[in-house]
Amino acid sequence: LISGNFITGELPISFAKLTNLLDFRIDGNPITGKIPDFIQNWSRVNRIDMQGTSMYGPIPSSISSLRNLTELRICDLSGPIINFPPLQNAEHLIELVLRNCSISGDIPFYMGSMRYLKVIDLSFNKLTDSSFFINCGGPNRVVGGKEYLDDSSQIGTSTFRADRSGRWAYSSTGDFIANQDANYIVTNTSTLNMVYPDLYKDARLAPISLKYYGLCLLNGDYLVGLHFAEIMFTADKTYSSLGRRLFDVLIQGERVLKDFNIEDEAGGPGRAIVMNFTTRVTSNTLEIHLYWAGKGTNAIPERGGVYGPLISAISVTLSKMYIQGNVCTHISSYPETAVTIICCLLLDIGSKIDGGENGFPVGAILGIVGACLLFTCISVYLYTKGSFCRLQGSKKACHSHGPQGRSNYYFSIEQIEMATNGFDTANKIGEGGFGPVYKGRLEDGTLVAVKRLSSNSNQGNREFLNEIGMISSLHHPNLVKLFGCCVEENQLLLIYEYMQNNSLGRALFGSNYCLLAPYIVGHKEHRLKLDWSTRYAICLGVAKGLAYLHEESTLKIVHRDIKATNILLDENLNPKISDFGLAKLYEKENTHISTRVAGTVGYMAPEYATRGYLTDKADVYSFGVVVLEIVTGKSNTNYVPDEKFLHLLDWAFLLLGKGRLIELVDPNMSLDYPEDEALRLLNVALLCTNSSPTQRPTMSIVVNMLTGETAVPTPVKPPSGSEDWIVGALRKLSSDSQPQSATLHNSPNDTVISLHEDEMAAFYPSTSGSLH
């Protein structure tokens, strides 16, 4: 065991005599030379660690003699391209890491019989796994970086054909009624208005039965994508538009689609739709069966040759490999676990490290790597707790939501381009500090919001990674769900659940706030009519979400940018806190964190806005402002009843002193609201916005106040003049628009700032003794 000792040179030939060696670890040493053949002499060795050396390959075939191996780790070998090393005799392997070892070809089938194998890392190799892609009825085409194989041969009645690669085959059964000369391949002749039209130009047709087989597959869970487009019927209201194609789809003998109508599902002829299913392969063979049960039309627009199952393309990708009942992540293939996500991120971002015009700077790369390491730890923890999806052989179409329900967390740029129709401007639904936001529909029909980093984004890479690291570790009904991310082709994308009712800001204040919704913007011009019970429920939901962030989640988090436009509303008007780009980790044992100021003027707590003094009570203050806006229906920053008042909050404290607090209730709301509940909410809002953070309640206490479990104390109006210096500082922040001192996000309605330490000192120089 000589790990990490800076030992140089080659392995001495005398090591060949270590016939009783049990454990050999040279990782972390700049040892050079070829991996020697004499390792075959170590017949009793259990563990070999060779990662982090300067040795080169190939891995010698004599490694097959090591029958007692339980752990083998070899990484970053230079040298020739090699096939998978012969490990069939190492039947007791528990962990196998062969990362970046220039391995190509297939993973051998004997790997599936290794009953003890728990960890397998084959990333950064050139393996050809069990995934395959077929362009049904068409020639070879490369689409979305995947090669869809040729399937253009004209076959007739009751024909079976295996692809020359031996990886897949198909069969067709039956004659077309009244047209024995009909083609079994159809080609579209008009323009197809869709992403990747070449993939849908041709399609294979069958009169009764069409089967595709995946052959010699590794046993495991697969994602099967069936690509359809109705290219034989028209949408011009002629006779050719009257046809109806109905057929069934079975995968592994189980019916997954019944009376499937491509045109209806896709929304018309000439439109693409992809139906995704998960299935399990247990005997190395996959069967996809499309079957016509005699339904629909069979003579429109002509007799024969126009009915029966029709399919444009098939994609089959391995998501999990099974080793004698144990689930092993097949890292070299498609991203499934957190480790794979990080591999994909580093692969894509690493290629941009040159810092060129279209690349990411080296500093950003180092930040990404650090965030990825944190994200990996978070995600692995969640995975072991069952938060991430573990497919159990279900053949149902994927319609689940969130990373804990979806099979993929990392999305390809092709998937997102297809979902948003190539980032079509018609799908653009908003613009935030991060960049434009698009509505999209994934292949399984799930609606999503795609947050895209703009080239001149003020939030940038730090917030992108911060959001991934934070929100991926959080799961609560009142937090927005992150489906995944994409880092490809100089793109940074975040994919979220789609929220049908926009943001709370737009619901309260109208269309002037539509551009502020960070993920969702609707198209209605007017604000929503929120009744009292809905407003109260929104306040309670936001309070519960913040209590989870501050006190209940494993990671204690300060959001730093709670405001009405960062609270989204789902179809039932349930609130969900969003936009974690500015969030900070916070530990209770720290009295506070001193950090650069970032947030929105009008919502920031005074001690944070002026001194960078951050605790979870900063979120409590912001929550109080939001509650005040919900009750009054007015914006804290835009409603100024008198020039003497900076914000709505100042006006509220004045009315508190005069005993007229109830006058703040939104006059546009019906008068049948419970006055005691209105006063409860207003008092909670003013308690939360106390100028002293120690006097503000915790969010768990706020929840108890709103549910009636804890009495609500009467807030006290601040003594006259006690906050003059704070108001003066906030006035300066509100009016300061110089680029070098304030970074503006979102829109002119909200001023979101990001100040550095030297600028904070201008407001309040004392920040000593704080944790940086």
Most confident of 452-466, 603-617, 636-650: 603-617
Q: Which two tokens stand for residue 523?
A: 């198209």
Residues 6+ apart with CB under 8 A from 80: 57, 58, 102
Number of domains in the chain: 4
Q: Could you tell me which residue, 262 or 115, shows the higher pLDDT?
A: 262
The larger pLDDT score, comparing residue 677 to residue 609, is at 677
Is there a contact between 516 and 507 (Cβ–Cβ < 8 Å)?
Answer: no
- Which range, of 205-209, 374-378, 482-486, averages the lowest pLDDT? 374-378
What are the tokens at 600?
């929105």
Q: Are residues 656 and 640 in the same domain?
A: yes
- Token pair listed for 575: 């609130």
Judgement on whether residues 41 and 111 belong to the same structural domain of the protein = yes
pLDDT at 763: 32
CATH number at residue 574: 1.10.510.10
Asked if residue 400 is part of any domain, the answer here is: yes
- Is the separation of the CB atoms in 223 and 319 below 8 Å? yes
Express each pLDDT in 294-350 by its tens digit: 888 877 777 666 788 999 999 998 876 554 433 443 333 322 333 333 333 333 333
- Is residue 763 classed as helix, strand or coil in its secondary structure? helix
Contact 228, 275 (CB under 8 A): yes
Q: Of 122, 83, 101, nearest to 35 (Cα)?
A: 101
Shortest CA distance to 308 belongs to which of 319, 297, 316, 317? 297
Taking the alpha carbons at both ends of the chain, their separation in whole angstroms is 39
Is the predicted pLDDT of residue 758 greater than 60, yes or no?
no
Return d(Cα 605, Cα 691) in angstroms, integer: 8
For residue 433, is it within any domain?
yes
Q: Do residues 544 and 436 both lie within one domain?
A: no
* Dist CA 247 CA 435 (whole Å): 43
Active site residue 561: yes
Question: Which of the two residues, 386 and 7, has the higher pLDDT score?
Answer: 7
**Which pLDDT does position 356 carry in this prediction?**
38
Of 449, 471, 497, which marks where a domain is finished? 497
Q: What tens digit of pLDDT does each residue of 339-388 get?
A: 333 333 333 333 333 333 344 333 334 444 444 444 444 444 334 433 33
> Of 128, 159, 186, which closes a domain?
128
Range of the domain at 88: 13-128
Q: Domain boundary at 261, 287, 317, which? A: 317
CA dist., res. 703 & res. 697, Å (int): 10
Q: Are residues 220 and 346 in the same domain?
A: no
Model confidence over 86-120: pLDDT tens digits? 999 998 898 999 988 988 877 776 776 787 887 88
CB contact at 8 A, 232 and 311: no
How does pLDDT run across 377-418, given as a tens digit for each residue? 444 433 443 333 322 233 333 333 333 334 346 788 888 999
pLDDT at position 70: 93
Q: Please tell me which residue in 561, 579, 619, 666 is annotated as part of the active site.
A: 561
How many other C-beta atoms are found inside a 10 Å radius of the C-beta of residue 351? 11
Backbone angles phi, psi at 555, to 5 degrees: -95, 125
Domain holding 294: CATH number?
A: 2.60.120.430
CA pair distance 378, 371, nearest whole angstrom = 11
Q: Are residues 392 and 412 in the same domain?
A: yes
How much of the chain exceeds pLDDT 70, in percent? 72
The predicted pLDDT at position 719 comes to 63
Main-chain dihedrals φ then ψ at residue 87, nearest 5 degrees:
-115, 20
For residues 582 and 710, state if they share a domain. yes
Question: Is position 520 within any domain?
Answer: no
Could you report the per-residue pLDDT of 586-640, keeping only the tens digit for each?
655 454 454 556 678 888 888 888 878 888 999 999 999 999 999 999 988 777 6
Q: Verify that 285 and 398 share a domain, yes or no.
A: no
In a domain, residue 6? The reply is: no
Examine the pLDDT at 175 and tell me if it is beyond 90.
Answer: no
pLDDT value of residue 646: 67
Q: Are residues 562 and 584 in the same domain?
A: yes
The CATH number that applies at residue 418 is: 3.30.200.20
Burial 241-268 (b: 16+ CB within 10 A, else e): eebebbbbbbbbeeebbeebbbbeebee
- CATH number reported for the structural domain that contains residue 73 in this entry: 3.80.10.10
pLDDT digit string, tens, across residues 249-261: 999 999 999 999 9
